[in-house]
């Protein structure tokens, strides 16, 4: 289950590079994801497709860098939907899928954080 949502090799690389700051990186990522999802929802409600595209693009990069490939893929789909001016309903469904995947990723990262916290 872990490797289907988070790439173990990416996590190992992050642990090696970040050392004692790894736990802080996880916490920052989790908080940032929550903020981005809230911003995406506001942007969809406000029918701001360009803002949705930019937020999804940025979120995609963060998720990819943290080894959350399925989350990054969902972000890419929302980004592409916003680029082609998909309906508000379609974008909202994409963001809901992102939110569901993030709920899993959040749990896995909290476990990871507990494993490596001082």
CATH number at residue 102: 1.20.120.160
CA 87 to chain centre: 22
Q: Total structural domains in the chain? A: 1
Answer yes or no: is pLDDT of 1 > 60: no
Within-domain flag for 118 = no
Q: What is the reported pLDDT for 77?
A: 99
Using alpha carbons, select from 45, 21, 41, 44 the residue that is nearest to residue 33. 41
**pLDDT value of position 18:** 95
Domain that holds residue 78: 2-112
72 located within any domain: yes
For residue 46, being part of any structural domain is answered with yes
Mean pLDDT across the chain: 96
Residue 98 in domain: yes
Query: What are the pLDDT digits (tens) for 26-66?
Result: 999 999 999 999 999 999 999 999 999 999 999 999 999 99
> Is 117 among the domain residues?
no
Question: Quick one: pLDDT at residue 2?
Answer: 58
* 22 pLDDT more than 70: yes
Q: Which of 95, 49, 48, 104 is nearest to 76 (CA)?
A: 95
């Amino acid at each position: 289950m872990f490797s289907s949502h988070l790439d173990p090799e990416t996590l190992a690389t992050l642990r090696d590079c970040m050392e004692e700051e790894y736990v802080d990186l996880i916490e920052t990522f989790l908080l940032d994801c929550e903020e981005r999802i809230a911003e995406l929802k506001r942007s969809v409600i406000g029918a701001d497709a360009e803002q949705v595209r930019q937020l999804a693009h940025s979120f995609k990069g963060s998720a990819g860098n943290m080894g959350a490939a399925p989350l990054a893929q969902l972000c890419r789909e929302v980004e592409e939907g916003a680029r082609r001016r998909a309906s508000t309903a379609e974008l909202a469904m994409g963001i809901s899928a992102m939110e569901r995947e993030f709920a899993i990723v959040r749990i896995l990262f909290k476990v990871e954080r507990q494993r490596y916290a001082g």
